[in-house]
A and B are shown apart, each in its own frame.
Chain A
């Protein structure tokens, strides 16, 4: 029976890609290991190798086709003795089939885009964007790259360092093109040495340079957390204001997809505990851009928490010469009067989906994207809760000592008399992140849990 070649998944979070090129023609003999096609993601072009032998029977997806979903049959291979007449016998693709094992790169270190499936519908206009501004559609990955490039053009003291940021163009392709524009002096590949290069960055910042230090993921920054907290966050205070450091530590934070406990952890609460640090964790593409530019200009150390799952998401980014969003301001993304849902980063995905669901049941949720965790925009939260009388926090991190716990405390301190129900928290489950797909899903928050919590505080 003919064998189907399926569109391969090239990374943990890839959902689709472009079929760039066929390297074999129909009727050509194929040996195991032959490169048969090239697949393009928005960060890389990957070769697809055959795992079966035979003759290329039929090309099902012609080259140049964009957005081919993972697991879509792209060709059939005929075994010895089979002919084109047998093609009809090819099986329908099984959904759970593991595609193209041979083409999968080192899983933990690579990524490809995911479909822009998250609800990015924005009810409230962004006050930072002047009315009538032209918008461009960009992935978050591109927005981050543009923010860095713009700041590097503006200030020769800004440089980027980290693992694979230069020649490889970024492990997640966030620094794509920076080496070509700014050269190896300002875009620096480091050895795999997080503790050391974090310290080198802080030392350089103490002299007045403005490093942007990329961690391949914040999970690896635990090796460097001493330099981040003891050196970067505390020096200004310990020196009586004489010496501080303007530095950005950035990289993906939180759960990726199917990379298990050591690569899936949310550090929002960890860093937001520390005075001397600013902590930013945006959700929309425009915020990623405007806030990264603000972070680079900030004279203090800034932890800039990105989300790997969001890198490939697209959003509208204002086409302005210098679009900077001030650190420390939350944004009401959807207004409502029945319950306040407060989240940030990828937690917003669940919050916004839940708000859509709740609206169907007549519950109008006000959704607040915190954007910055430290300093926290308490005022926006409190004003909203005074209006709604109910609040739900949503985070991917653990509940204990989490950011949601902090928000709940601030609401209690500042708006206790306005509350009609106890604040509810939706958070990651109190376990290390499991690998199995079903368990991973259970460990993360969901829109359904947010809906349930919102209904509970509304006594519905």
Chain B
């Protein structure tokens, strides 16, 4: 087998379209910074709580990939749906779901979004148009295509943003969904979050076609590779894709070139890559540092940034506090919500 050197060595930016993405306004930069920081601090806290035994089962952290959901969310409008796989905490926070409800679900408490019955991988919010949270790799792609089918059926002008990873991109139902989405011109953006590793398997070891933006070629679905570490590039690509969908032209594929700093799940020691590789991405491309540096260069004061930090920490600490003190679900909940 070929060593995963090529994929591992390439920078997420290598294959991206040339030229800088459109600049953000100061307000946009501040919002992006705040939303990404919230995800990062939340995930760090979740990692801590997992270590303390307060969170059980599987817990997949989104640290490093924050610019993808935050940038995409900035490109959407009210009513657009979001659906993803099991690495989903960031998506929930980005859609505006309450940190307390998410953290309490992680700890399996009654105040969690699923009353403690779903856990890390299974949360939903009708109000925020977040359709999960799915633990079966690739299943959300057909489901997300179904959300787009419903938009089309209702002619409501909404777009389904269907996230999946480089690993899920090799599942059969992804291509069944691509076919139907293009055949029926469904408004769905397939966002492939290529973080270079499907659990412990580097892209080069699992994918015959490593350019995921081309995965829709045989269905005539346009695709684009995007620097998923630059929130501005993500937003710009998201807007282009959303406009395509809303114009009735069918689906669009965005390959987000990103990176996960932590292991696949909390129990993954990540021996399949070097510490240097992780450090290099963190140092050179961190999505949050990029925004922070631009803000500082544009004369936003350290104090202003610290205030954002503090606000985010307060939210996260409050959520951890809530999630550890909220009672477990009542025993009677065992039998509820099987049927309605």
Contact = CB atoms under 8 A, between A and B. Distances in A.
B147 A230 contact: no
B177 A199 contact: yes
A209 interface: yes
A239 interface: yes
Interface stretch (A108-116, A187-195, A358-366, A440-448): A187-195
A387 B160 CA distance: 57
Contacts of B336: 241
Nearest to B174: A196
Contacts of A231: 134, 136, 139, 143
Given A191-B179, A204-B149, A243-B131, A236 B337 contact: yes
A298 to B, nearest CB: 9
A241 B150 contact: no
Interface string B175-218: 01101100100000000000000000000000000000000000
Given A196-B177, A200-B145, A203-B146, A238 B122 contact: yes
Given A191-B183, A203-B144, A204-B147, A240 B340 contact: no
Contacts of A209: 150, 153
With most chain A CB atoms within 10 A of its CB, the pick from B142, B144, B146 is B146
A207 B338 contact: no
Contacts of A236: 337-340
A237 B117 contact: yes
A226 B134 CA distance: 12
Contacts of A243: 124, 126, 131-132
Contacts of A207: 81, 146-147, 150
Given A204-B150, A243-B131, A196 B173 contact: yes
Nearest to A208: B150
Interface string B110-142: 001111111000111110000111111001011
A269 interface: no
B18 interface: no
A201 interface: yes
Nearest to A199: B142
Given A191-B180, A202-B143, A230-B136, A159 B153 contact: yes
A201 to B, nearest CB: 6
Contact of B147 (A195, A203, A226, A244): A203
A235 B132 contact: yes
A195 B180 contact: no
Contacts of A241: 115, 336-337, 340
A165 B31 CA distance: 49
Determine the interface band of chain A, counting residues with CB < 8 A from chain B.
35 or more
B339 A226 contact: no
B117 A195 contact: no
Contacts of B81: 207
A242 B141 contact: no
Contact of A237 (B142, B144, B148, B338): B338
B22 interface: no
Given A195-B172, A204-B147, A239 B124 contact: yes
Report the interface size class on chain B.
Answer: 35 or more
A203 B149 contact: yes
Contact of B146 (A206, A276, A299, A300): A206
B146 A205 contact: yes
Contacts of A202: 142-143, 146
Contacts of A195: 142, 172-173, 176
Interface string A203-235: 111111100000000000000001100110001
A199 B143 contact: yes
A239 B118 contact: yes
A238 B146 CA distance: 19
Given A196-B177, A196-B180, A276-B339, A239 B123 contact: yes
Given A196-B177, A203-B149, A242-B124, A275 B338 contact: yes
* Shortest 7 CB-CB contacts between residues of A and residues of B: A203-B146, A199-B142, A196-B176, A240-B115, A203-B143, A240-B114, A238-B122
Given A199-B145, A202-B143, A235-B132, 14 more contacts: A190-B180, A200-B146, A204-B150, A205-B146, A206-B131, A236-B337, A237-B337, A238-B122, A238-B133, A239-B114, A239-B337, A240-B115, A244-B340, A275-B338
